[in-house]
Each structure stands twice: as C-alpha cells, then as structure tokens.
Amino acid sequence: MSAEKLEVHPTRLELLRLRRRKALAEGIADILQKDLETLIVALIEHRQRAHALRTQLYEILNTAYSLFIETEMMIGTMKVREISLSASPIEFGIEVSTTPGVLGIQFPSLQFIEEENRALKPRFNLSETPIQLEEAASKIEDALKPIVKLAELTAVIREILEMISLKRRQINRIRFQILPQLDATIRYVELILEEIERQDAIRVRVLQRKRKERAAKSG
Amino acid sequence: MKPLKYKEIMPRVAIENLKLIEVDDLISLIGKDLESIRCALSDSPYGEYISAISQDEIDSISLEAVLLQNYAETYKKLVKFSSGSIRSLLLAVLKKFEVSNVKAMLRATKAKITVDEAMKHIVPVGTLDRNRCRAILAESKSIDDVINSLANLEYGLIMKDVLNKRERIEDLMQLEVALDKAVYREILESAEKLKGVDKKIAKDVLGIELDAINVRIILKCKALGVSQELIKDYLMPTALFGEETLEEATKATSAKAMIGCLLIVAETGNLVYKNIFTQMLKECDAPLSRLEAILDKAPLKMSLYMLKEHTRYYNIGFVLAFLNLKWMEIKNLRCIINGSERKSPPSQVRKLLTLPGEW
C-alpha cells in the first residue's frame, strides 16, 4: 500500500524541512528501538525472578498442604473444620506504592506488613491438634511474603509489557506510517521541483532560440 | 479383688474385643479407594452404620461419622454393663467426648454457622444428646448464651468461672483449656476412688495419657516460642510428672535437655515410661511430629503392658486396654480413609498409623 503524501507546498524550503523531519523521525525510531530492547531485557529478568519465586512458593505451599492433609488424616476432616471455626485469622497489611524502575518508569511496589507486637501463642487447641496443623499454618504464613512479592513482580511485568506494546506501536507508527509518508512527500516535492526545472530549462532554450532568430533577422 | 463387679462388663468387653479389626486387615486397606474400604468395613461392626448411608454420600466425612457413632455406641454398651466405681470412671472418661461436643458448640456459635452445619460436628454421647445440642445451638446467639444454656451442667459452671476470673475472653482457648482441665481432673479423681490393682492400673493408664498430653503441650509451645508463664496455663492436671518437673521441663533450653529432665522422673515410673522417654531421647533431633507420634502411642503401650503384668480378667486393665485399642482402630481407619480420599502415598498413611507394636 502506497503511503499518502502530506499536503505541502512543493518548494525547496519545504523539501529541506521534510528531509530534516525524516532524519529526526529515524533518530526517534532508533531511540525507541533501544528503549524497547532495554524493556525486553528487564522483562526477561523479571520473568526469571518471578519463575524462581513461583517455584519457591510452590515448594512452601506443597509442604503446607501435605502437613494439612496429614492433620486431616490424624484428627479427621470434621475436627479440622471445627477447629478452623474458632482459629484467629492472621492479621497483615499490604502497602501499595511506586518505585522508579527501568527507563524511569514508575513500577508498582507492594510491601507486606506484619502485625506488630504479635503475641507468641498457639492458634489451635494444644491437646486436640497435632503439631502438623501449627506447622501447616506457619508454612502458609511464610508463603504470604512470596505471594505478595510475586503479585508485585506480576504487576511490574504487566507494566513492562504495556510499555513494550506502547514502544512497539510508536516504532511501527514511525517506520510504517510517518517515514513512508515523508518519503512519499519528499519524492513528490522532488518530482515537482524536477518538473519545474525541466520546464524552466525548456523555457530558457525557447527564449534562447527566439533571441537567436531575432538576432539573425536584424543582422 | 471383687470379681462380681466384673461379672457383666468383662464378657461384654471380651465380645467387643473380638470384633476389633485385625492389624493385618487394617494395613491391607491402605492405598485402597473409598468404595473398597466401604466394602471391607461392611463386614465389620461398622457395617450396620455404613449400610445406612447411600452410595452417593460415601466420603471421608460420612465414614468418619460412622466410626465415631460406633465408638459412642460401644462406649454406651460398656457403661450400661458396668457398675460401681468402674462405671464412675467410664462416665468420667466419657466426659472427654462430651467436652468435645461443648467445644464444637462454642466454635460453631463463634463462627455463626447454621445449626444443621454445626450438628455435623456433634457426636451424641452422654448427657449431651443430639436434641439437646440442637436446642442449645438454636437458642444461642453468642458464647455467653451457650454458657448460660449449659448452666445446669458442670461445663456451664466451669466456663462461668473462667468468665468471672477474666474481664475479656480474647479467644475460645481459655474456655477450652478450662474444660479439658476439669474433665481430666475428674478422671484422675475417679481413678483415685478405685481400689487395689484397679486403682494402680487406672492411674498408670490414664496418668500416662495426661503426662503425654502435658509433654506434647510443652514441646509444641517451646517450638512456637510461647512464654513459660503462658505454657503453665495450658498444662493439664499432672500424673507422674508433677508440676515441678513440668516447670523444669519448660525451662529447658532444648528438646534434648527437656526430655533428659523428664527421663530422670520417668525412670521412677514403670518400664513403659522408661521405654518411651528413652526412645524420645534417642530421637530428640527428629521432627516434633515424630516425638508426638511416640507420645500418642503411650496410653496404648501402657494398657498392653498392664495386660501382661496383671491377669487379663477381673481388673479394669482389660476395659481400658479395649477402649484404647478401639480408639486407635478408629484413628487408624480415619487416617486410612482420609489418605485414600486425598490420594496420599501409602508410605505416608502407614507412617501416621498408631499400631500396637512394631508392625
């Protein structure tokens, strides 16, 4: 598909302006390409970190669920459910803020906040429950920090993906819309200017021929 | 020795003892699916309860309910055929299950679940039958209401006492611990009222259960970093390990030091105490769950030891041994059923079973 040319006056000055604009657009496209590459590197790094964290989280949760199942096997499903009815929930908070990341982009930051001055006391009836239940609960509590960290990494990855998509759109717009448009316009202006030059040359030759004819008649 | 008072209960215990599932048969159920377990249990004393459940409703929860129902019925039979101080002791031990129902009602009320949902946690035993529990749950909107509904029972008075002593009840743990303490105190008192060999056997079998609970509480609290002062509040009435011994154990810096301190006292007890705490000392670096498993076996080991030490009949040893064996059978079946439903590896299920000897 041929690009539509811009509405410009086919003058030399305009041609110079158009060439300057083309050089500038090419420069911007190069910078955006470098940004894109930086973002892709950051995306790979964050993805690797998320993968490692997810593996660590799965290990913690697997241990927790295994211990929980052991508890159910030891004291019965109904008893575990009954005990859970009165168990005090784990209190925690999440502070949401932003931190400057790659290319100065503001990345979301999630901070896990533990309950301060938490009394060290058992959460479940000591004589009724096996240690596996406390251990399972403690493992789940341990998993909260990686879960929050993983949520933060996921949000950062999403942010990076959005930025990559934006940069890619910008590069594509320059490469496949602005630059072809400028090229087409430059070609058009050049053609017009060449046409004007050719007409001028013919006009000059006609005038010279007429001048010679006039000189011959008078001579 | 008065054989007359055993005239009715001993044949009943002997019959019920014969109905216990053989350990080999129990082990053969590991790794089987729920349907196979249901079929296998159909030929056992649990069969009549299992046949009442439709095939679509068979799951770990319904089977668990069947096991507990059977235990409650068997216990009722033993109480019915017992007399005198043995009956008093059996009724005192039964209160452990009654208290379990009281705790279930407290928890259900705190969580504000529906009466029907709460009733799934009730095992009708003793004075707290289904209708009474349902009525209490239906009428109670708060913990205070449950306590008031139980005011005519000792449990209500115990909980009121806790409420009077403390301005605010932060969680149900304080009430639950008070109830447990009261029940175990009553069990010890009932054992104390027995005479001769019965008294010795009951004190040893029920005493080791209490000692095991207290040691478990200390081990668990120390692992969780609970303060010494708080640990004291959670401890049950004492048996062989007196308050001083337990206090010393709470001060120990490691599990090894703690078990070592308990072993000194255990050596003054009988062979079972010594064996258990020597084994615990050997495995003191093992995970806490392993130490708990050793302690869980203590009442059963003591019961079986008492059977060897004394004549099988005409003492309370056989009754207590049967009750422990029956309870272990139910625990093991529950473990196998849940393991089957959760598709746990057979090695894990086997590890969690409490078997009488080295199997």
Contact A73 B107 (CB under 8 A): no
Q: Which residue of B has its CA nearest to A81?
A: B121
Contacts of A154 (CB under 8 A, 6+ apart): A50
Of A73, A79, A130, the CB nearest to B344: A73
**Where do the H-state alpha helices sit in chain B?**
9-18, 23-28, 34-42, 47-50, 60-81, 84-111, 115-119, 130-139, 143-149, 154-165, 173-193, 196-224, 228-234, 243-251, 255-266, 271-282, 288-309, 316-341, 346-352
Q: Do B234 and A122 touch (CB under 8 A)?
A: yes
Only one residue has tokens 């255990």, namely B266
For residue A120, what are the domain limits? 15-218
Residues of A with CB under 8 A from a CB of B: 66, 69-70, 72-79, 81-83, 85-86, 88, 120-122, 125-128, 130-132, 134-135
Query: Confidence band (pLDDT; 50, 70, 90) for A127?
Result: confident
Tokens at A177, concatenated: 């819309």
**Amino acid making up residue B208:** I
Q: Which CATH number do you get for residue A69?
A: 1.10.287.3240
Q: Which residues of B touch A69 (CB under 8 A)?
A: 338-339, 342, 344
Q: Is the pLDDT of residue A177 over 70?
A: yes
Question: How many inter-chain contacts (A to B, CB under 8 Å) are there?
Answer: 100
Domain B84-193 superfamily per CATH: V-type ATP synthase subunit C domain (1.20.1690.10)
pTM of the model: 0.85
Instruction: Identify the CA nearest to B104 among candidates B76, B70, B140.
Output: B140
Domain count, chain A: 1
Q: Report CB contact under 8 Å: B121, A78.
A: yes
Which of B219, B289, B336 should one mutate to test binding to chain A, selecting the residue with the greatest count of A CBs within 10 A? B289
Average pLDDT over residues A47-65: 95
- pLDDT confidence of residue B357: 67
Q: A-chain residues within 8 Å CB-CB of B65?
A: 78
Whole-number pLDDT of residue B298: 92
Q: Tell which residue, B93, B65, B83, B101, has the closest CA to residue B176.
A: B101
Backbone φ/ψ region at A87: left (φ over 0), alpha (ψ -120 to 50), beta: beta
Residues of B in contact with A68 (CB under 8 A): none
Residues making up chain A, counted from first to last: 219
Smallest CA–CA distance, residue B27 to chain A, in Å, is: 15
Per residue in B323-350, pLDDT (tens digit) is 999 999 999 999 999 999 999 999 999 9
Min Cα distance A126 → chain B (Å) is 6
Residue of chain A minimizing CA distance to B64: A76
* Domain B195-310 belongs in CATH node 1.20.1690.10: yes
CB contacts of B292 in chain A (<8 Å) are 130-131
**Ranges under pLDDT 50 in chain B:** 1, 358-359
Characterize B201-224 residue by residue with b for buried, 16 or more Cβ atoms within 10 angstroms of its Cβ, and e for exposed.
Answer: bbbbbbbbbbbbbbbbbbbbbbbb
pLDDT at residue A12 greater than cutoff 80? yes
Nearest by CB: B107 against A73, A82, A135? A82
Q: Residue A2: pLDDT above 70? A: no
> Do B294 and B207 touch, CB atoms closer than 8 A?
no
The span from the CA of A31 to the CA of A207, in Å, is 53
C-alpha torsion B114→B120→B124→B129, nearest 10: 20
| Helix axes of B196-224 and B255-266: crossing angle, nearest 10 degrees | 170
A2 inside domain: no
- Give chain B's end-to-end CA distance (angstroms, integer): 35
Please give the span between the terminal C-alpha atoms of chain A, in angstroms, as a whole number: 60
Mutate to test the interface with B, among A65, A75, A78 (most CBs of B within 10 A): A78
Task: Tell me the chain B residues in contact with residue A91 when contact means C-beta distances shorter than 8 Å.
Answer: none
Judging contacts by C-beta atoms under 8 Å, the chain B residues touching residue A74 are: 331, 335, 352
The pLDDT tens digits for A58-105 are: 999 999 999 999 999 999 999 999 999 888 888 888 999 998 988 888
pLDDT for the residue numbered A38: 95
Instruction: List, by residue range, all CATH 1.20.1690.10 domains of chain B.
Output: 84-193, 195-310
Contact call for B121 and A81, based on CB within 8 A: yes
Residues of chain A in contact with residue B116, where contact means CB-CB under 8 angstroms, are: none
Average pLDDT, chain B: 89
B125 SS3 class: strand
Lookup: tokens for A49: 């970190």
Residue owning tokens 């703690």? B258
Q: Which of B189, B185, B180 is nearest to B234 (CA)?
A: B180
Residue A153: C-alpha distances to residues A54, A97, A141, A166, B189 (Å): 10, 13, 19, 20, 61
- Residue A8 within any structural domain of the chain: no
Write the CB contacts of B359 (distance below 8 Å, at least 6 apart in sequence): B23, B27
Question: In the structure encoding, which two tokens stand for residue B93, read together?
Answer: 């031990």
DSSP for chain A reads -PPPPP-----HHHHHHHHHHHHHHHHHHHHHHHHHHHHHHHHHHHHHHHHHHHHHHHHHHHHHHHHHHHHHHHH-HHHHHHHHHHPPPPPEEEEEEEEE-GGG-EEEEEEEEEPTT-----SS-TTTS-HHHHHHHHHHHHHHHHHHHHHHHHHHHHHHHHHHHHHHHHHHHIIIIIHHHHHHHHHHHHHHHHHHHHHHHHHHHHHHHHHHHHHHHH-
pLDDT at B359: 42
Of A77, A127, A132, nearest to B217 by CB-CB distance is A127
Q: Which of B336, B338, B304 is nearest to B318 (CA)?
A: B304
What CA–CA distance (Å, rounded) separates A164 from A161? 5
A10 located within any domain: no
B226, A127: Cβ pair inside 8 Å? no
Does the residue A60 lie in any domain?
Answer: yes
Whether residues B230 and A70 touch (CB distance < 8 A) is answered with no
Structural fold of domain B1-81+326-350:
Topoisomerase I; Chain A, domain 4 (1.10.132)
Within 10 Å of residue B181's Cβ, how many Cβ atoms?
17
pLDDT tens-place string over residues A205-219: 999 999 999 999 887
Q: Phi, psi (5° rounding) for residue A108?
A: -70, 140
Instruction: In chain B, list all ranges with CATH 1.10.132.
Output: 1-81+326-350
**Option in B213, B289, B349 nearest A131 (CB):** B289
The reply to whether residue B339 touches residue A78, judged by beta carbons under 8 angstroms, is no
Q: How far apart are CA B23 and CA B304, in angstroms?
A: 15
Q: How far is B314 from chain A, CA to nearest CA, in Å?
A: 32
The mean predicted confidence, pLDDT, of chain A is 92
Q: Which of A39, A44, A61, A49 is nearest to A149 (CA)?
A: A49
Provide the sign of the torsion angle of the four alpha carbons B94, B334, B348, A89, taken in this order.
negative
Residues B319 and B258 sit within 8 Å (Cβ to Cβ)? no
Q: Nearest-CA residue of chain A relative to B65?
A: A78
Pairwise CA distance, residues A72 & B338, whole Å: 7
Residues of chain B neighbouring A131 (CB-CB closer than 8 A)? 219-220, 223, 288-289, 292
- Identify which of B173, B331, B352 has the shortest CB distance to residue A125: B173
Residue B196, Ramachandran bin (φ over 0: left; ψ between -120 and 50: alpha; else beta): left
